Amino acid sequence: MTESSGVPLRVVSYNVHGQRDDAAALAAVVRGAAPDVVIVQEGPRRFRWRHKSAALAESFGLVVAGGGLPALGNLLLTSLRVRVLATRCQQFPLTPGRHLRGAAYADCVVAGGARFTLAGSHLSTDPAERPGQAALFKRELDAAATPVVAGADLNEGPDAPAWATIARGLTDAAVAADRADRLTYSCADPRRRIDALFVDPRITVVDYDVVDTPQTRRASDHFPVLVDLLLPVTG
């Protein structure tokens, strides 16, 4: 497909490790990718989270679209190419003794006339919790009125049940680009692909990369997922 038959969108999905690593490297990594949208996991969610979210977005050259504390650290950032029409947040039921988890959603339109639903989530490290959280996230994705672009840290690989739930009916961007062998975690010792980008089948995956450089190894404990898409023009 050529760009004339779709609207380009560059996406980064990135677990930023609570910004506990090299903040300058983190900002440089994202700015260097020049994305239209960034789906952040482990973004600001505590004291002064609005200010911290805005500062993170500014360091990336982007603006806050939605998420943050109400989405329990899932944050959606956009460039000025993308107009945000509506946002919503989701919190998954709390299992006593565990961390709260959730998701963020934004209804967007990108310059060129393509509407899409941007979504991000971060599932539990507990395998007993993940399937239920995945089902709740998937229910919202299935209900979206426009083509979905969903990034997540699933805390499990493609052969596990929560991953299968979310992937059902969607395109795994890594598989579409024949790069499912690219591992996302951990930067210190890459062994697993637990970070993913899923898209509506109407969306074309042009390119996919897991950015492994000395800079990304300083920026977080996860590598960023960088994907180029072509969105269908919607009426």
CATH number assigned to the domain comprising residue 144: 3.60.10.10
CA distance 28 to 14: 13
Span 71-99, mean pLDDT? 92
The whole domain housing 36 covers 3-223
> DSSP of 2-38, one letter per residue?
-GGGSEEEEEEEEE-GGG-S-HHHHHHHHHHH--SEE
Number of domains, the chain: 1
In angstroms, the CA 13 to CA 39 distance is 5
Instruction: Indicate the burial class of 61 (C-beta count within 10 angstroms; 0-12, 13-18, 19 or more).
Output: middle
What is the distance in angstroms between the CA of the first residue and the CA of the last residue of the chain?
Answer: 20
pLDDT band at 3 (very low <50, low <70, confident <90, very high): very low
Q: How confident is the model at residue 1 (pLDDT cuts 50, 70, 90)?
A: very low
**Is there a domain that residue 7 lies in?**
yes
- The predicted model scores a pTM of 0.96
Question: Residue 85: inside a domain, yes or no?
Answer: yes
pLDDT digits (tens, 9 = 90+) for 66-83: 999 999 999 999 999 999
pLDDT band at 2 (very low <50, low <70, confident <90, very high): very low
- pLDDT digit string, tens, across residues 18-48: 999 999 999 999 999 999 999 999 999 888 9
- The reply to whether 231 falls in a domain is no
Residue 66 lies in a domain: yes
Higher-confidence residue of 111 and 68: namely 68
Q: Which amino acid is at 195?
A: D
Q: Is residue 235 included in any domain, yes or no?
A: no
Please check whether residue 169 lies inside any domain of the structure.
Answer: yes
